[in-house]
Amino acid sequence: MRPIRLTVKGLHSFREKQTVDFSMICSGGVFGIFGPTGSGKSSLLDAMTLALYGKVERALNNTQGIMNHSENTLSVSLTFELGPQKNAARYTVERTFKRSSEHNVQTSVCRLLDSTGDPVVIADKKQEVDKYIESLLGLSIDDFTRAVVLPQGKFSEFLHLRGNERKKMLQRLFRLEKYGDQLLNNIKLKLREADHEKDRLAAEQHGMGDTSENAYKRVKEACNYWAERLKEYQHKKKKIEEEWEQTRQLWTWQQEKIDAENHLNYHLKKDDQIEEYKTFLAQSDMAAKVKPLADSLITNRDELEKWEKTLVAAQTNYEQSVQEYNSLSQEMEQLKEEKEQAMNVLHETEKSVEQAQKVKREKQEYRQQRDVARDDLNKIEQEIDKWNASLEKEESNVKKYKHAVEQFHAQYNHMYVSSEEKHRLIKAKEEKQHLRYLETNIDKRKEECKKRQSELEAEKTKLREAEEKCKKTEKNVQNRFNQVFNWYEEAAELNRWLEGLYSHVEKTLEAEREREKKRQLDEMAAVLSKSLKEGTSCPVCGSPSHPYPAEHFSEAAAASEDNQTHQKTLEYWLTVLQKTQFSTKEKMLELEQMSQHITSYLDKTDKVITNDNIDRTSPEREVDITEDSWQETLNHTLNKWKKEEETISKLSQLVNDDIDAYRKADEQKQRYNYQVEDLTVHYERLRQETAEEEANFQRELENWKMQFPSFTYDTLDAEYDKVRDREQQCETFKRRAEEGQRHIYQLEQQCEETKTVLQTKTVQHAECHTKYKQFSTLVKEKEGELERLLGQKDIQVLIDWMHTERSKWQNKEKEIAKRAERAEEATKKWENEKNIATHTCQDAKSRYELSLSKWLESKKKENHFFTNPEEVHAYILTENEYIDYRQQIDDHEKEKEKWRNLLENVSIKLNGRRVEEKDWQACEVKKKEINEEIDNIREKRGAALEQLNDLNNKRDRYQELEKQREKWADTAEKYQKLYQVFRGKNFIEFLAEEQLIQISQLASERLRDLTRGRYALEVDSNSGFVIRDDTNGGIRRPVSSLSGGETFLTSLALALSLSASIQLKGEYPLEFFFLDEGFGTLDQDLLETVISSLEKLQTHSLSVGIISHVPELQERIARKIEVIPAQPGGEGSRITVHGVQN
């Protein structure tokens, strides 16, 4: 990583925006950052970590108090490159903070840009930017600051640490903790997994039961026996099924014959009903045939009656319409005469109204002009009053402002402060602000000292409490170990007893099986002897004579049942004992793992649980299985073990809880111990810095008092405030006097403008008054003329009356005309209706007479029984009724024929044969019994085959499990050895020691260059540093014998080696390094050597920045950044670059 450009604004003493271009400064190998104490040199490093990680490591809570007290925003940005310079990727990270309280800030803008080409935003949220930066660099903020900066006071800390403390520091720097407890826990988990798999496989093997060769032979013999029995019964079944099939066929035909006879009798009984259905169909056919003639006759008769009624109604309506039309014609003639007389009167009145309307319009125009003139007159009078009042107010204001200006001039002369007095006071104030800044820093330092001291005391208290808690939890774990040991002995004793009992029960079961086998052979021989006849060959030995046949004993069957029951009981208890053995071994393994778990944390434990250190001489508990109460005794023992299992399971959780408590207490103690050490070093350094700053403040205060004897330090602020208040008042009086003079001039101009406006308004007032009088006279004249034309009548009333009269006569005329028109139309309509009805009536009568003659003719011809046409519809069936009757008739004939044929066929098949119901039922029972027997034999044969297949699978599975168990046993043994190797912290200390040797080798090479080949650095047997003086024959001496300059050089070599080692964690190397102070102890020659050695680092692509205020260094280094301190109360720290060509 190479820094390119750093920009900072608002951080610590940097108020204004400052930019550092590292691309030119770092190209020279070594560059310097110089400036007085407190100028802000180290703040540039803070700006870099703040831009990259959003934190300042030395600030409280990483961001508290980092913003300049005079600013409300803080912004930093850093541009850097990664990778080779030709193909480097360039990134820019920008962060802006705003003040949230007096000392706290919060992020307002945060983004990361890819600036290789056109800028592209990669992330714009704080968490995303932090994560992306850490993934790009491969370093956390702690790794970055340790690798980039060797801060003030840290040069010789690592060099003078003791062996163990130095190893602890290396463990923290390189995070070697993961090779301790974390690695050991992983091994323990793997070991536990291997043991669990091994035991699981063994348990699965035990759970398979008896898979021996004898068991396999027994199952095979059973399969063959049931196969022979099945073959025998299948032959019997075939004969029974043939007999059943013949009987079933006869029984079926017999049932079919009975069913056919019943159906045929049923259909013969329905013949009468079917004949009635045929009569209904014949009547319906006749009615359908004459229906058109009947319908025609009825229709023509109804139509003739309808048109006769219509003709009578049309004749009556026609006569009424003619009479009404004649009456309306006479009424219309009389109305026309009355309307002509009324129209003459309306015409005369209309002329008078038109003349009056014209006069009224003229009067209205004159009245409006009069009102306008009156409003203008009132408005002008109000404006004149307003302008008079304004003029009086303006003249009064002119007098008042002239008096005020005179007072301001007098007060200004009284409050004036000379420039010499003001300059001297400001200078004293600026110097005092610098002292106040130092005093504020001292107060902050003291407050931080108190806070750090309180934190240190609190951490010490926590450390003591953690040590007490660690001792207490250690004692608890020791007690748990004793409990585990006792329970392990108890479980081992029970396991030995179960093994003996299992062996005894197994032997007894084998003996019982042998006796049962012998009994079965005797029984088979007895069965065979019954079937033997003298002279017939024996199927076993082939002999035709049988002098000693086997005898059959009835008591053997009962003994066989008892023996089988006893065998099942023994088999059950073998399974129970096997499971209990597995359970005890599992609990023994669990207790052994508990003990190993405990001993991995407690080195003081002098006992370890194994199978070798358990007492095997304890007396075994005997159980005589021939006694009746042996099962009860065994049940009691097993129930007791179940309760003990629960106790052991709970003990496992208690052990884990106590170990976790001990481990946490020990980790907490170590953590508090580290914190106390760090806080102690930080507190001592802070107290020393505070004392130095207090001494510096006292010197500065004495100089200030000597420089400004006329001022008092404590009252200077009050005097300064008074002078500043006087200056502000002078400026105020001067400004107000000038503003008053300008305002007086403006007021005088306004007075002149107001007088001119008043003169204009007076002339306008006279003109408006004359117009108002003229229009008032014209309005009165027009009012007299209106009274002469109309008298007291209103024009609108007369207009409304004329309109009403005209509308009334027009409406009457329209109404009578409309009534006459309707009467004329009605006359024409009814005359037409009468003619149509007369013609249609004659046609209907002719059609009726023709229909009647056809009906009478059809009655004679068809000889039907209908007396009138209405009867025809009563005999016609609906379509659904007709189809239904026809379908029933057809179905009846078909069914009757079908059952008659079926009955003849079945009788021929039976041929006089018959089967009784009891014979058929007996045949059914025989078939059912043979099927049930075969199913039972098949079930037993299937069970035997399944048992045989299961046994084969178990035998194969057993071999497979045995191979896996041996593999897991080998794995568990390897992890057990690893666990013994990695117990404790020996491996971490080994890694730390190896890391220390590598760092010391790198540091020795750098130290040899820095001291011109004189010194080399080595590590002794106690992991401590020693110096080898090669110019004095390679003599070795402790590092405490080095001078101040030699100590600095040795520490510098170590710091550069540490930085190079830490950088190996990152993906890209950090191509820069900062040294903060430490050069003041070097003489001129050593200083020259150090600078020369640092310049050589450029060959390794590493630039070194030296932060110092030593004048010799500032002269020696060409490329440098000068930090100019901030001015009290003025601008902030500034940056200037020297030795770089733009």
**Token output for 97:** 């903070």
Q: Which domain-ending residue is among 1040, 1065, 1090?
A: 1065
pLDDT at position 288 is 78
Residue 30 and residue 116 in one domain: yes
Distance CA 426, CA 22 (A): 39
pLDDT at position 561 is 65
Distance CA 493, CA 621 (A): 9
CB contact at 8 A, 49 and 144: yes
* Residue at 890 is within a domain: no
**Number of neighbouring beta carbons within 10 Å of residue 488:** 24
Residue 21 and residue 88 in one domain: yes
Residue 1061 and residue 1075 in one domain: no
What angle do helix axes 917-982 and 986-1010 make, rounded to 10 degrees? 40
Q: Could you give the strand order of the β-sheet that contains 1103-1108, starting from the edge strand earlier in sequence? A: 149-150, 1072-1076, 1103-1108, 30-34, 1120-1124, 1134-1138
Instruction: For 81, list phi and psi in degrees, rounded to 5.
Output: -120, 150
Distance CA 883, CA 281 (A): 10
Total length of the chain: 1142
Residue written as token pair 């009389």: 334
Distance CA 456, CA 460 (A): 6
CB contact at 8 A, 73 and 98: yes
Write the CB contacts of 605 (distance below 8 Å, at least 6 apart in sequence): 478, 481, 598, 599
Burial of 788 (0-12, 13-18, 19+ CB in 10 A): exposed
| ∠ CA 250-252-256, rounded to 5° | 115
Residue 1070 and residue 1112 in one domain: yes
Residue 1129 and residue 1009 in one domain: no
Q: Average pLDDT of each block of 10 consecutive residues along the chain (1142 residues)?
A: 89 89 76 82 87 84 81 91 82 92 86 89 90 83 70 53 61 64 77 81 73 76 81 83 82 83 82 79 77 80 81 80 77 77 76 76 81 84 84 82 80 73 74 78 84 85 86 84 82 81 80 76 68 63 62 53 73 78 77 76 52 45 56 79 80 81 81 78 81 83 82 78 77 80 81 82 80 79 74 74 80 81 81 82 81 77 73 78 84 84 83 80 84 84 83 82 86 83 72 78 81 82 78 79 73 75 63 68 67 60 77 78 81 84 60
* Residue at 1040 is within a domain: yes
Write the single-letter amino acid at 50. L
* Residue at 1032 is within a domain: yes
| Structural domains counted in the chain | 2
Distance CA 388, CA 757 (A): 10
Residue 1042 and residue 1087 in one domain: no
* Residue at 857 is within a domain: no
For residue 1070, the SS3 value is coil
**Taking the alpha carbons of 944, 947, 953, 955 in that order, is the dihedral positive or negative?**
negative
Q: Which domain-ending residue is among 1065, 1100, 1125?
A: 1065
Residue 1036 and residue 1082 in one domain: no
Residue 1015 and residue 1136 in one domain: no
Residue 134 and residue 5 in one domain: yes
Structural domain boundaries enclosing 1082: 1-138+1066-1142
pLDDT at position 619 is 41
pLDDT at position 95 is 94
Residue 93 and residue 55 in one domain: yes
Q: Across 63-137, where does the E strand assignment appear? A: 73-82, 89-99, 105-114, 120-123
Q: Which of 569, 551, 549, 552 is nearest to 561 (CA)?
A: 569
SS3 of 263-321: HHHHHHHCHHHHHHHHHHHHHHHHHHHHHHHHHHHHHHHHHHHHHHHHHHHHHHHHHHH
* Residue at 1005 is within a domain: yes
* Residue at 844 is within a domain: no
pLDDT at position 440 is 82
Q: Could you give the strand order of the β-sheet that contains 1025-1029, starting from the edge strand earlier in sequence? A: 1015-1019, 1025-1029, 1035-1038
**Token output for 808:** 């009334």
Distance CA 1045, CA 1084 (A): 10
Residue 101 and residue 3 in one domain: yes
* Residue at 1041 is within a domain: yes
**Number of neighbouring beta carbons within 10 Å of residue 168:** 20
For residue 1076, what is the domain's CATH number? 3.40.50.300
Q: Which domain-ending residue is among 1065, 1099, 1115?
A: 1065
DSSP 20-61: EEHHHHGGGSEEEEE--TTSSHHHHHHHHHHHHHS--TTSBT
Write the single-letter amino acid at 1095. E
Query: Bridge-partner residues for 1035, per DSSP?
Result: 1029
For the CA atoms of 697, 702, 708, 710, the dihedral, rounded to the nearest 10 degrees, stands at 120
Residue 37 and residue 115 in one domain: yes
Write the CB contacts of 106 (distance below 8 Å, at least 6 apart in sequence): 97, 98, 100
* Residue at 68 is within a domain: yes
